[in-house]
Amino acid sequence: MEMVLVTGGAGFIGSHSVDLLIESGYRACVVDNLSTGRRENLNPKAGFFQVDVADLPSLKKAFEEAKPNFVLHQAAQVSLANSFKDPGFDASSNILGSINVLECCRLFSVKKAVLASSCAVYGTPDKLPVSESQPAKPASPYAVSKLAAEHYFFHYGKIPGFDCVVLRYGNVFGPRQSLGSETGVVSIFLQKMLEGKQPTINGDGTQTRDFVFVEDVARANLLALQKSTKCKALNIAGGRKSSINQVFSELTQATGFTQGPVFGPAVPNEVGHICLDIALAEKELGWKPDFSLRQGLKKTAAFASQS
């Protein structure tokens, strides 16, 4: 069985990816510093190294012991707000950490690596839906660091025998996303609703996002390792616009929450609308989402209410 090393494998998306890999007949090992990842997310059949990807000597030891054939690079600083507060740490985690992972891939003859990137690299799009050919216009240190990591992946992808794929995720949600996490409006709303408190919608709630369920993302990660796609960036999203008001309404039905939202001031310079074109992912990977927004939100709410 081939071995897949998953950085950030104790985190939200990473842990779902590890579970799917093991279900699909792969061996897996996790590299995670547990700063945001959780031990309870670790699959008991996976190996585990408590290592920060910014620590190259320790990362090399993990690669040397695990001997991976493939790498899923999920570890990252993911908070947009924190990237403004501490851009140096953001760069250390997302740029230097990615370089360290790629160096280990080179040193230990990994066949293929997949980078978890973000639709944030597009900034405010010129037109919708956003295709991979549209220019990147990162508007935050987080988006800059993700775009830089992409370029490093493509640079290393020129090495003979090594391949890479970059997946630009939409707004991922689902079980194991930390409740109240500032990186996800679904988790923020759920925490408030389960506490019997009114969630706050910034602005009028008509702004739209492209939501994608975490199990669909994990499947995209797996396919990116399996398919012959080489050195490409692919959008992984629902391929649909959903308003924040719509998300709130769906969650009230899923949770039985009966109160309305509180409307607060709009977030300055926030992207108003985004929707990703996912045709290339379907062409290259044979991937498209299985879960509708409603199905994903129901499953997420059920998990959160039992946690």
Which numeric CATH code is attached to 173-208+240-275+292-306? 3.90.25.10
For residue 145, what pLDDT is reported? Answer: 97
**Length of the chain in residues, anyone?**
307
Can you tell me the distance from the alpha carbon of 275 to that of 54, in angstroms, rounded to the nearest whole number? 32
CATH top-level class of 3-172+213-237:
alpha beta
Q: Does the pLDDT value for residue 180 go beyond 70? A: no
For residue 83, what pLDDT is reported? Answer: 85
| Range 252-270 average pLDDT | 91
Average pLDDT, the chain: 95
Maximum distance among all Cα pairs of the chain, rounded to whole angstroms: 58
For residue 97, what pLDDT is reported? Answer: 97
Q: Does the pLDDT value for residue 183 go beyond 70? A: no
Read off the pLDDT band of 181 (50, 70, 90): low
Q: For residue 113, what are the β-bridge partners?
A: 71, 164
CB-neighbour burial class of residue 87 (10 A; exposed 0-12, middle 13-18, buried 19+): middle
DSSP-derived secondary structure for 124-176: S-SSSSBPTTSPP---SHHHHHHHHHHHHHHHHTTSTT-EEEEEEE-EEE-TT
Q: Does the pLDDT value for residue 265 go beyond 90? A: yes
Can you tell me the distance from the alpha carbon of 295 to that of 198, in angstroms, rounded to the nearest whole number? 23
SS3 call for 12: helix
Q: What residue ranges do the domains of the chain occupy?
A: 3-172+213-237, 173-208+240-275+292-306
Cα 142 to Cα 100, 117, 267, 301: the distances in Å are 18, 10, 17, 28
pLDDT tens-digit series, residues 53-73: 999 999 999 999 999 999 999
Beta strands in 32-106 (DSSP E): 47-49, 70-73
For residue 270, what pLDDT is reported? Answer: 79
Residue in 26, 142, 156, 169 annotated catalytic: 142
pLDDT tens-digit series, residues 229-259: 889 999 999 999 999 999 999 999 999 999 9
Can you tell me the distance from the alpha carbon of 135 to that of 123, in angstroms, rounded to the nearest whole number? 9
For residue 182, what pLDDT is reported? Answer: 66
pLDDT tens-digit series, residues 71-99: 999 999 888 788 889 999 999 999 999 99
What are the structure tokens assigned to 61, written together?
């030891």
Asked if 122 is an active-site residue, the reply is no
Place of tokens 């391949």: 163
pLDDT tens-digit series, residues 102-148: 999 999 999 999 999 999 999 999 899 999 999 999 999 999 999 99
